[in-house]
Structure 1
């Protein structure tokens, strides 16, 4: 055999090997959980939903089971739609599933500094340590007064301008978390940082939603597409600019208060005090505060909007909740957090809202750092794991009539499941994440009455589209209308009294507000003459 012949043969063999390896891309590896049929090279990429993927994932779960796999080119995704595999893999084996998958578009915006999306690195462990050091159960108790005061303004706002309830809820959820974290509140929605935050946050959530952007992590060459042909680059750049202006602007305000001796006990003050001890640079501090704002603002407002939508769409549940409040709280005071233990139906309403419309229907993706096996299936190292919270909560084999809002299911059984269902792996904190990535949350309630708004021409109640929800990794109902009225003159008086009594609680969080915000807050309290 001549040298030339040998070279040709080797090249032919190499070509055959390369073709064979290429044809393997997209195929489901032996040992993986089952899943939809794949296509050469693409796998399931062409069938992957580009918006609200939890719906399609739930349909696939009915066919392929509570744990199945998808192939996006060479990438393996494990989808979990069952409480048992979620408990086992995401909590009992959280040491193996604690990572996040690469997310190039997220890194463009936050540079790996967002604690909710960061990879499992030394930096992430430092950020997590800082959060756990600062937000202990004991430390969070000091923030209850401002949380209660903000709730009193929410009720007052709805009392005075009920038609604007949708933005009142957004103002409330954002002002609470901004007060607790950065020590500065927002008394109004329009024209302030709350509206700025929500405009940015909606775009940010769309950026990181699975399937919403081109598969850059699978096809790295897309990183080099010029921005004029890559609108996602423009979007990422704009969101990054707004985030930095918002988060680091509030950090500067906090630093000025500390320098001037005007502390109000917010989280960022403590974090700045311990910055060197926790080995955090200034960029890490600012982005940590921003990520916590993201985790506690939009989620709360989305939950409350879904709660209101449920109350006006299922008036029998609203009536039961009001009757329980009357029997426990009476008519001479407003509800307090201490009442919750005596309000089982109100608790059931909260649990059912989380089940009926989870604010994160597809939990933030995890990634494995080592190979695991579950029920005979191989979960390879580097695989992405998606927990389909929506599918878990809307399984008709587990929940009776799951599309219906029915709080009584949580009165009949602790976790709202059908008779005979094994609840050993279920918990009420499922909507808040898993294992070492779990996030805390607080839910508040008020005692206003929600009614269906009537058509001005026919007088008939308007029927609501219960599926008109925004797209994104966090989802809530799009704006809708309803009539909100106090249940009695006495209820209205109690709301007003609670709001005016909160003035002293608000003041330490208003020093850094804009002049316009200060005038607005003073006018609400009847003190506008002090700011003329």
Structure 2
């Protein structure tokens, strides 16, 4: 392995792969944003096709297929279109909060249900059950298995030894073939089952899938299968990405509230000042709740869930600041390095929402959403809906519940050291905590507004 260090850029050669790591937002914007055409591709991932993840437009290479799926996705989730989802997001956030108070032990499952239900409604017009919905469980199984199996190590092994996928079942080393089959079967169900529901349901015609299926019916027969395949990929990408990203972000938020009770109390005081105990926060209150937005920004920054971003690849040679970046190089935006820059974020390891509030009590111009959702042409197209979902969840949770360290049978706080998953996506593993209602009248409000 060869490594060259140069300030905000790091060059690494791993076997035959050239990798460029970007460590500053300024350089990331200069390359990924301002030269977006050059950096819009994705590197070859040997596990993508065998493990059934070729459906994901997040990993597919730059080209006509990706542009078509992206255009479909953008039409539904662009900023102005996403506004119509807000009443549903508030309703789902309140449903989640009620479940958390009623059944706090399974908080991760409630986060997953919330995350999936928002996307299931917007994409397929499918109303998920409050708990243990079969389609939610389907996406949870498919995504969890896929992420666990599609590791960089396996991708490297398959790139070097592709014959492993052809080994007979009795042969040593054939486990990767069996794992690929399991992952493929699960992802095929995740892609097809909800799509078939929307295709066969008259009520779903107002959803992303339903609206585009109506448009496809008016196209030439030769184009229909191409358009339907692109729609299916865009829909399943939204489904999987929403579950993983929103659920992981809410796990980070919960962990922060356990460890930083002062931030929780300040956020609750701001909500009480704006809404009192008579009602719950809604999106129209957002401008009056700058500290809640600061909590959201700090949640994105403190423990970024995709610490190295989703890797880009160059479509042509490039030169930046005198350094040659070859065609086909893997380019990674080091979100972790940006978010932990001590010059920009003093005491970066601490959760401090006030770092995003100026002396006048207003939000600063620094918003981590500008880099945690990616940059350039591969920036997350669902970021506006994702941001709104997380805000509605955080605001509702802070208004209705207290979050703290769990206590043992003797009433002593249970201290713990957080553990995190590894891989492309990173989030806290489940941890002990206490979740309880702040006020009984707000629980009644939750129940009646679901």
Q: For residues 151 and 111 of structure 1, do their structure 2 counterparts lie closer, same or farther at Cα, with a shift above 3 Å needed? A: closer
Q: Aligned residue for 1:267?
A: 208
SS at match of 1:485: strand
1:380-529 equivalences under 5 Å are 380-412=326-358, 428-439=369-380, 440=383, 441-442=386-387, 443=390, 444=392, 445=394, 446=396, 447=399, 448-457=401-410, 459-466=411-418, 468-499=419-450
User: In 2 relative to 1, CA 415–100 (structure 1 residues): closer, same or farther, beyond 3 Å?
Assistant: farther
- Provide closer, same or farther for how the CA distance between residues 223 and 397 of structure 1 changes in structure 2, counting only shifts above 3 A: farther
- The one-character-per-residue Cα deviations of 1:17-50 (angstroms, maximum 9, x if unpaired) are xxxxxxxxx667xxxxx24xxxxxxxxxxxxxxx
Moved more, 230-239 or 171-180: 230-239
Query: Residue in 1 aligned with 2:200?
Result: 256
Could you list the structure 1 runs, at least 4 aligned residues long, displaced by more than 6 angstroms after superposition.
413-417
Matched, 1:316 2:262: yes
Written as runs of structure 1 = structure 2, the 5 A alignment for 1:30-429 is 34-35=4-5, 65-110=7-52, 112-190=54-132, 192-211=134-153, 213-218=155-160, 220=162, 228=171, 229-258=173-202, 262-263=203-204, 265-275=206-216, 277=219, 280-412=226-358, 428-429=369-370
Q: What residue is the counterpart of 1:23 in the other structure? A: none
Distance apart, 1:107 and its partner CA: 1.9
* Partners of 1:264 and 1:327 in 2: CA distance: 41
Alignment check: 8 A CA contact 1:299 1:359 kept: yes
SS state of the match for residue 332, structure 2?
Answer: strand
Provide closer, same or farther for how the CA distance between residues 78 and 226 of structure 1 changes in structure 2, counting only shifts above 3 A. Answer: farther
Aligned residue for 1:97, secondary structure, equals coil
Whole-angstrom distance in 1 between the partners of 2:423 and 2:431: 18
1:329 deviation in Å?
1.4
Give 1:243 deviation, angstroms: 1.4
TM-score (norm 2): 0.89
Distance in 2 (CA, whole Å) between partners of 1:452 and 1:143 is: 34
Q: How many angstroms apart in 1 are the aligned matches of 2:103 and 2:89?
A: 21
Tell me if structure 1 keeps the 8 A contact 2:95–2:130.
no
- How many Å apart are 1:267 and its aligned residue? 1.0
The alignment partner of 1:93 has SS state of coil
The answer to whether the 8 Å contact 1:101/1:119 transfers is yes
- In 2, are the aligned partners of 1:91 and 1:435 still within 8 Å (CA)? yes
| Alpha-carbon displacement from aligned partner over 1:359-408 (angstroms, at most 9, x marks no partner) | 21121110000111112111101100011111211122332111111111
- Change in Cα spacing, 1:398 to 1:231, as seen in structure 2 (3 Å) is farther
Distance 1:479 1:415, change over 3 A: farther
Q: Which runs of 5+ in 2 are unaligned?
A: none
8 Å CA contact retained: 1:303, 1:353: yes
Check whether the contact 2:135–2:194 (CA below 8 A) recurs between aligned residues.
no
Where 1:96 maps in the other structure, the secondary structure is coil
Task: Report the TM-score when normalising by structure 1.
Answer: 0.76
The answer on whether the counterparts of 2:115 and 2:246 sit within 8 Å (CA) in structure 1 is yes
Give me the whole-angstrom Cα distance separating, in 2, the residues matched to 1:436 and 1:195.
32
Matched length = 430
Give how far 1:430 is off: 1.0
Unaligned runs of 5+ in 1: 1-25, 29-33, 36-63, 418-422, 500-532
Q: For CA contacts below 8 A with separation 6 or more, give which structure has more relative contact order.
A: 2
Report if aligned partners of 1:360, 1:473 keep a CA contact under 8 Å in 2: yes
Q: Distance in 1 between matches of 2:250 and 2:53?
A: 31
What's the Cα RMSD here? 2.5
Could you say which structure has the larger radius of gyration? Answer: 1
Distance (Å, rounded) in 2 between the aligned partners of 1:221 and 1:85: 40
Q: CA deviation at 1:208?
A: 3.8
